[in-house]
Structures are given as structure tokens and as C-alpha cells.
Amino acid sequence: MSVSHYTHAPRRGPALDVAVVGGGMAGAAAALALARAGFAAALLEARAPQPWDAADEVDLRVVGLAPSSVALLDDLGVWTSIRESRSGPYAHMHVWDSENGAAIDFDAADEGRDLLGHIVENNLVQWTLWNALDAAGVRRPCPAEVRACEAREDRVTLELANGESLSARLVVAADGAASPLRDMMGIATRDRDYVQRAVVAHVATERPHQQTAWQRFLPTGPLALLPLADGRSSVVWSLPEAEAQRVLTLDDAAFLQELGVASDFRLGRILSTTKRAAFPLRLQLAETYQAERFVLLGDAAHAVHPLAGQGVNLGLRDVAELRDVLAAARDAGGDFAAAHVLRRYARRRRSADTLDAHGFDALARIYAWQSPPLVAARALGIRLFDRLAPLKRRIARHAAGL
């Protein structure tokens, strides 16, 4: 992004401990978490989130919140409001292979828990976090577009498009996968374009979803049916670009029939659908999560395949780690934004995120195998995994962030 040149001295706001750029779920959660931990924080966002209203249709973009994410949101004082507004709890997950029928089942009871997670609208989480910021003392300039970022010895200065500037001891970039701030700081990414799109919609089905997340792996990519609070299911159907475009142009009757076939009619006939949308799929990992008095968080740091539904959970784990690392350094009397402190956060989270991202990528590749010997080997591996209770329990606990 080009740096704007000002003809007058920018107006400067009061100094901050932390300036978070990006008001999505991860950014808003980071600002709230840091403020509640005693840091003077601001959240800069170009556009306020769309207000959430229970009378509105369910947002097409939903997330599967793992227990680790629920615990963080509860600690931030917003989970009860989210849960009571509209949340689809699920206690079971059934994953099966369209080529050979081999399946894996996860059940919360096997883990000694009531639930595996909750399916919640992106917009509901973001709106609830946004509305909690004022009470926590978070400054919330909006609209606020960062045009330049300059790190100095003891703080970073952000120059805004309106001519104002902010100064903070630390800047947290949570401004999305296309992060302008990441580019300003010269941090490169490693990318893989899946040349796929995830087609999303909400559908009513002949049979109830049974508080189960259903996922079928097809040669074209995974199809997920996720349980919504109102009894419908949220569809996340990963398809090659051309096929996704074709599916988007189908009339409702044709879409319902094709979706029924793709889901093996596991929930019976698909009875009705909302409008459809699609978004591109790619793997992206930042080469580093830190620079001088600067860290990346959420999608600005990592974007992963949605087949495991872990993208938002990884971002919220970034938030919890950053809060804990910064608070520990401050409480020990040190500079919480010193390079060695930020390295601690960056090393821990990049290691964990990289492992998960490549794990999801490997899983997508394995399920894309088409040759008969490899399909047979995959079936054998799936059935063996489903019988290995300790390994399955370990994977389930990892996905839960426990």
C-alpha cells in the first residue's frame, strides 16, 4: 500500500499500550482481551460491523466454535449473550468417504464432555464483541484506515487516512488475509491457491440434524452440513472454481437435488434453501508473526482450508496466547512489546498454526486421491483410525484446543 503524504502535521491522539487494526472476530477479541487484562487499547476498523438482529435471516457465514474459543469468549464476558442469542450446539461429528463408505465418528460423551462445539454466525460473534469494547475502555475510532506504519525505538506510529495519527507501544495486525499492515511491514507469506470455492447456504432437510456435524468427502472436495439453532443445516460445499460457479447458477430445485445426491441424502431430501454465496479457498501462512513492536494475528497470520472448521479457532487461540504472553511480561516488570517477548508469542503460535494448516492441507490431499489402490489404502486407514480410541481422543482434544 502506498504511503500518503500530508501537507500538514497530523493530529495526534493520546499514547496507547496496544493498537489493534482490524475489527473482525480475532481483532475485536484481541482488543477486548487486552483491555480486560489492563492494557490501554484501541481498535481501528474501516467499517463498523453490520448490526445483528434476531429477526434477520441467519448469516450465511458461520463458524464452529471449539471449547477453547467458548472458554475465551466466556472469559471476556460475551459468551452467554452469544449462546442465548442464537447458537447451534453439536455433540457428534460423522465424517465419511464417498468413494468407499469408510467413516469416522466423534462423540462428546467419549471425551467426557456435553458438546463438541457450537455453530454460530460470524456476524453475531463480531457484533457482540464490538458492543463490549466501550465498557472495557477500548478506544474505537471508526472509520479508521491506516495509511502508514512507522516503528520507533519505544513505540509505533500509525498515520490514518483522515490526517490523524495514533501512537502505541505495540501494534497488532488483525486486518485479514490480504492484510495491508503485513505488507507495510514487509512480511511475506507462503500461499497455495486451492482453485476452489466454498459454496454456502442454509437448508431445511427431511430429517433432523441430530445435533451432529456431518461431513462427506467427495472427489471434488468436502461437503459439510452443520447444525443450526433453528433446526436447519448450514452447507459448506468445497468445489473446483468452475463447478462452484455452475452450482451457484442452478435454480433452487436443481440445487436441492444435486445437494441431496452429494450428501447421500443422509438427512433425507433437501426441502428448501436460502440464497447461496461462495468464497475462494487458499492456504496462506505468514513467514513470521512479528516485526519491531508489531505482531500478526488471525487471518492476517494464517488462512487455512475450511474442511476442519478451525480457522476462527486458531485466531482466537492467537488472542489468548498474545494476552497471556504480554501480561506475563508486563507483570514481571519488563517491556511487554520487547522483541524477545513478541518472539515468544510468534514462535508458539506460528509453530501450532503451521502444524494445523499443513495437517488440514494433507487431509485435503489424501481425500483427493482417486486411483483405486490409494482409495483402498485410505479406507483401511480411516477404519483403523476410527478403532484407535486413544489416537482419536487425542485428535479430538487437539481440535477442541484442550
Structural domain boundaries of the chain? 12-400
- The torsion defined by the Cα of 95, 194, 347 and 122, in degrees rounded to 10, comes to -60
Global pTM value: 0.89
Is 12-400 CATH 3.40.50.1860?
no
Residues 6+ apart with CB under 8 A from 144: 44, 45, 46, 160, 161, 162
CB 107 within 8 A of CB 113: no
Between CA 92 and CA 110 the distance in angstroms is 10
Between CA 12 and CA 21 the distance in angstroms is 17
Secondary structure E strands in 290-389: 290-291, 294-296, 302-303
Residues 6+ apart with CB under 8 A from 62: 119, 120, 121, 122, 226, 228, 234
**Helix 25-36 vs helix 122-132: angle between axes, to the nearest 10 degrees?**
30
Question: Would you give per-residue pLDDT tens digits along the chain (402 residues)?
Answer: 333 322 233 344 457 999 999 999 999 999 999 999 999 999 999 998 999 999 999 999 999 999 999 999 999 999 999 999 999 999 999 988 888 888 888 899 887 889 999 999 999 999 999 999 999 999 998 898 999 999 888 899 999 999 888 999 999 999 999 999 999 999 999 988 888 999 999 999 999 999 999 999 898 989 999 999 999 999 999 999 999 999 999 999 999 999 999 999 999 999 999 999 999 998 899 999 999 999 999 999 998 877 656 789 999 999 999 999 999 999 999 999 999 999 999 999 998 888 887 777 777 667 666 777 777 777 677 777 767 777 667 776 666 666
Cell of 323: 494476552
Between CA 161 and CA 232 the distance in angstroms is 43
